Amino acid sequence: MLERINQPELKLSPMKFLFFVFAVAMSTVVAWAQPKKNNNIVVGKVDSIKSTILGEERKIWVHLPDAARDSSKHFPILYLLDGDWHFSGVVGMMQQLSSVNGNTVVPEMIVVGIPNTDRNRDLTPTHSLFYPDGSKGDDLKSSGGGEKFVSFIQKELMPYIDSVYHPAPYRVLVGHSFGGLTVMNIVINHTNMFNSYVAIEPSMWWDKRKLLDQAHEVMQQRKFAGKSLFLGIANTMPAGMDTLQVRTDTTGSTAHIRSILALKDILQHNAANGLNWAYKYYDSDDHSSAPLIATYDAFHFLFNFYNMPKEMRFKLNDLRDKADPAPLFATHYAEISRHMGYTILPPEDATNGWGYYYMQVGAANKAYSMFALNIHNYPGSFNVYDGMGNYYRNQKNKAKAMEYYNKALKIKDNPETKKKLDDLQREK
């Protein structure tokens, strides 16, 4: 087992209330998993960019949240190295944790997967011909192009993505193995490119631990306030060896995990630099199986502020509490905004879900408050006025219901809203 350190344990968010699951899920459409006309299930699209820096056409894989069809909505963005390997798993996990069954563990995100053309070239920051056991590899002859690859991401790919997909100003980078090495190179040498980093099984042994030596100096000298890092460590030791014994081993077979444990020590011993970080050791996973579970845990750590606290959910669900729920809801998203560095409004669908829940259980004042909050936050959406029209219709206030249905129809000619308005007009 990994030795105990003075580092907070990773805490996972508690399960959602069933009522909230229903209230939000009933207003959420999961488009990426919807079969299309050709019976294919679509999780993303293939785009491409001509790179002058790399001198080649680079394909990119892009997943957009369903709500991104509304151009006024902007989402955080996750860049994924080795995209051709990990894209579907990361997209599925993000979608599961951000919307399925009412989950709000993480925000909905744009995911940009970067497939490889020459992996050994792009994901190694320096040139080397040797593997951790000291053996020479002819396939490593092109290594050392990592800085050009980082320059491609920063100067060509990011501006292109920003101009076409208009993400919110919060970026996450995820990488595994050589991808994890690239993540750590960017953390150390290009810190401000991303807000949060996930390094899974980073190959810190590369080139005689050159980047590890650099990390030792940089982590002491530089401040990392506002940056977050999750480090995933798999069990790559020979059978019968533990993480205490492996530290004194000198064979090439343990060079990989020893270098990652050394990185963990560097992070631990430089807590004053302000980096928000955590690690987890996966005793039952090897180098290849660790990425999925490590990404899951990384999501929970990086966005541990995003899910609504249990106490707040209890208060929102307590119908005996006569307090207005809208300020409580708004306060939570103000706190999220503080963490992420830009304004994030309470989601329209989630707010609507609470409004309909309160309406169905007879808490009329609370329902009105949530529908009114939606109108305040999204005055250009027909749906928020349709929701308030439904509220007034439920309250038997025909005039007000018709007023809000008409407001909705001025924004969008929706057949269902028009039918409800026509039905009211025919009533005596």
Question: What pLDDT digit, counting tens, does each position of 79-110 carry?
Answer: 999 999 999 999 999 999 998 887 889 999 99
Confidence at residue 15, expressed as pLDDT on a 0 to 100 scale: 31
Residue count (the chain): 428
Buried/exposed code over 25-37 (b: 16+ C-beta within 10 A; e: otherwise)? bebbeeebeeeee
* Angle 96-275-301 from CA coordinates, rounded to 5°: 20
Confidence at residue 2, expressed as pLDDT on a 0 to 100 scale: 33
pLDDT more than 70, % of the chain: 91
Alpha-carbon 278 to chain mean position: 16
Burial grade of 273 (CB within 10 A; 0-12, 13-18, 19 or more): middle
Longest CA–CA span in the chain (Å) reads 89
Domains, in order of start, for the chain: 18-302 (3.40.50.1820), 321-426 (1.25.40.10)
> Secondary structure of the chain: what % helix, strand, coil (to 5)?
50, 15, 35
Confidence at residue 37, expressed as pLDDT on a 0 to 100 scale: 54
Confidence at residue 133, expressed as pLDDT on a 0 to 100 scale: 86
Q: Closest by alpha carbon to 116, among 159, 146, 160?
A: 146
Burial grade of 90 (CB within 10 A; 0-12, 13-18, 19 or more): buried
DSSP alpha helix (H) spans, 279-414 = 290-302, 310-317, 325-340, 348-360, 364-377, 382-394, 398-411
For the record, the structure tokens of 72 come out as: 């006024």
Q: What is the pTM of this model?
A: 0.86
What is the sign, positive or negative, of the torsion defined by CA atoms of 298, 303, 305, 308?
A: negative
pLDDT in tens, 358-412: 999 999 999 999 999 999 999 999 999 999 999 999 999 999 999 999 999 999 9
Confidence at residue 27, expressed as pLDDT on a 0 to 100 scale: 37
Residues of the chain with pLDDT under 70: 1-37, 428
Alpha-carbon 221 to chain mean position: 29
- Residue 5 neighbours by CB distance under 10 Å: 11
Confidence at residue 428, expressed as pLDDT on a 0 to 100 scale: 64
